[in-house]
């Protein structure tokens, strides 16, 4: 009977040992939950990265638009600057011409005054 009792104990442990099956099932369930939690974490992290990329793209678009506007304004200012420099150059040339004309007129007036003085002396 000793042998039957040992066989019975072994059979009971192997067949009736629900703790082993329960342990394996719980281990698989825990591993599955851990994998799911990790996947959810990666998904949340991916969402944050995607949002960050969208924000960076918006910032880059704003910077590009601002840069293009500044380039346009810069070109307009350069064009205006060239026009003003040309105008200043033309005005300086006119000023020099007027100085020459004024000097010539002054010499003519002086010549006429001298001529008039000579004529009065002769009279």
What pLDDT is attached to residue 22? 65
What pLDDT is attached to residue 119? 81
Q: How much is the pTM?
A: 0.49
Gap between the Cα atoms of 95 and 86, Å rounded:
14
CA dihedral for 5, 10, 11, 17, sign (positive or negative)? positive
H helix or E strand, kind and range, residue 63: helix 18-122
Task: Encode 31-47: b = buried (16+ Cβ within 10 Å), e = exposed.
Answer: eeeeeeeeeeeeeeeee
What pLDDT is attached to residue 35? 81
pLDDT tens for the 123 residues of the chain, in order: 578 777 777 767 666 556 566 667 677 777 878 788 888 888 888 999 999 999 999 999 999 999 999 999 999 999 999 999 999 999 999 999 999 999 999 999 999 898 888 888 877
């Amino acid at each position: 009977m000793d042998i039957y009792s040992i066989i019975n104990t072994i059979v009971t442990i192997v067949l009736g040992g629900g703790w082993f099956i329960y342990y394996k099932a719980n281990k698989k369930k825990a591993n599955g939950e851990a994998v799911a939690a990790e996947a959810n974490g990666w998904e949340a992290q991916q969402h944050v990265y995607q949002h960050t990329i969208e924000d960076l793209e918006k910032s880059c678009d704003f910077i590009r638009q601002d840069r293009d506007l500044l380039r346009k304004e810069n070109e307009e200012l350069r064009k205006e600057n060239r026009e003003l420099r040309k105008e200043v150059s033309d005005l300086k040339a006119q000023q020099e011409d007027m100085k020459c004309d004024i000097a010539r007129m002054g010499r003519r007036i002086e010549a006429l005054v001298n001529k008039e003085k000579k004529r009065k002396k002769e009279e």
